[in-house]
Amino acid sequence: MSISRLIILTAFIGVSFGSLHAQTERPNVLFIAVDDMNDWVGSLEDDEAALTPHMDSFAETAELFTRAYCSSPACNPSRASLLTGLGPSTTGIYLNDQPWRRHMPDVVTLPQLFRENDYRSIGLGKIYHNRYNGDKKSWDRYRSFGHGIWPEDPVEQGYPAKGQFDWGPIDVPDEEFGDYNCSIAAKEFLTTPQQEPFFLAVGFIRPHLPFFAPQRFFDQYADEDVVFPEVLESDFDDIPPAGVAMAKKYRGRRFDIIENNEEVMRRMLKAYRACISFTDEQVGRVLDALENSPYAENTIVVLWSDHGFHLGEKHRISKYTLWEESNRVLLAFRVPGLTEPGTVSHRTVSLLDLYPTLAELCGLEAPENLEGRSLVPLLEDPNLTWPYPALTTNFEGNHAIRSERYRYIRYQDGSEELYDHETDPNEWTNLSQNPQYTEVIENLSQFLPQTDAPSAPREEDYKKAKQSN
């Protein structure tokens, strides 16, 4: 650590409120997660952005990373990797129905590390994936709020909605939504005197499907202002079969109906933005509570999304791909005494980097096997040379390497894609077979995992094993 950084961190850790409620000189952590939110946030996008005044205001007080990427474009593997500091290719957690704690009983998670170092570890909402949220080793207290509104009958008209693949405004009080109640619980925690330093994780579910939100959030968007994604009809012509198969996985007939009906697509795009704006209001409530609490000057705040989401790009309406829209996420850090308000870093970083970063900022000894890198150097100097691309894994043996300029994909069968984001931000031209880019591929290939862990047992595997015994 440089002398200047040591001085800054020492000064930060030594902050004292001089308040009756100031519980310690050690920094607290407010860890805010958003589910299935792509990069349609005002601070990251232009035309496609949803209205996100609270998240945008937070970014103006923090350091925003414009090239942040998930380690997997699915909830369970993304969150398990972020919170254990280990990538899917190391753990074998590639799917949503793999109980990561049963597979890794001795791993020390990020909230567990804080808990074992005399922090009070509190989880609210969706932090891990669904039923894996209540990991007893991670939390002193954990409270789930459920998904919220999910009507029995389809809301969307003119489209055969089924199950959670539905959207539209819902005429119910905010209190009917789990995310609203989660934000209220976080507010109550932050306005209550705490006797110990805390790690407070607050997880919001929307804009995850179904895209339901109160009517007022739909009213923010005029139909004529909805921006449709740019789509190339021949997009799959230069993509290897493995990539095409991944893009069409889980697609089904409903996706064709959406793509081929402009009005249905418009309503879906509007609903996704409305759900982002709904979540933005919840995030704002939590941040306002922090600002009005005794902990405002001694709390690190991290705001992140677990992965992206395609809404028509690459002929895809979902996640589970190794392309940009499925992998890029919102990530912003505010560290009192260290980050400069409104700072932007264009360096490529991974959600795997959150664990070692927070451990270093709070002076905790992290496990030696963490695979991410501490971002403290970039929090000190956002323009620092950073030659580390981000690795994203989707199912066993399929990986993307994202540098500041390129996205390189290698599938399990060895087939490849390469995109130059400097000239091709939509990823329409696969350059992997162009001999001019041989050296680029060779350089990026060195960041691929050396081995791929076999897929961990799924829920059904444990059930079958229990029945056989």
- Name the residues annotated as catalytic: 75, 129
What residues contact residue 291 under an 8 Å CB cut-off, 6+ apart?
none
> Is the C-alpha dihedral spanning 20, 23, 28, 31 positive or negative?
negative
What residues contact residue 154 under an 8 Å CB cut-off, 6+ apart?
160, 161, 162, 166
> How far apart are alpha carbons 53 and 165 in whole angstroms?
27
What is the β-pairing status of strands 416-420 and 299-305?
unpaired
Distances (CA, A) of 185 to 27, 113, 350, 415: 21, 23, 29, 48
Q: Tell me the sheet residues that pair with 311.
A: 317
Residue 64, number of CB atoms within 10 A of its CB: 26
Nearest alpha-carbon partner for 182 in 140, 127, 139: 127
> How far apart are alpha carbons 71 and 352 in whole angstroms?
7
Q: Where are the alpha helices (DSSP H) in 53-160?
A: 53-61, 75-84, 88-91, 100-103, 110-115
Q: Find out whether 408 and 445 touch, Cβ atoms under 8 Å.
A: yes
Q: Find out whether 352 and 87 touch, Cβ atoms under 8 Å.
A: yes
Q: Find out whether 411 and 243 touch, Cβ atoms under 8 Å.
A: yes
Token representation of residue 273: 């933005």
Residue 193, number of CB atoms within 10 A of its CB: 12
What residues contact residue 9 under an 8 Å CB cut-off, 6+ apart?
1, 337, 338, 361, 363, 376
Distances (CA, A) of 281 to 48, 204, 357: 19, 11, 27
> How far apart are alpha carbons 321 and 245 in whole angstroms?
10
Report long-range pairs for 131-134 (Cβ below 8 Å, ≥24 apart).
132/76, 132/80, 132/99, 132/100, 132/101
> How far apart are alpha carbons 180 and 146 in whole angstroms?
11
Nearest alpha-carbon partner for 257 in 156, 326, 158, 166: 158
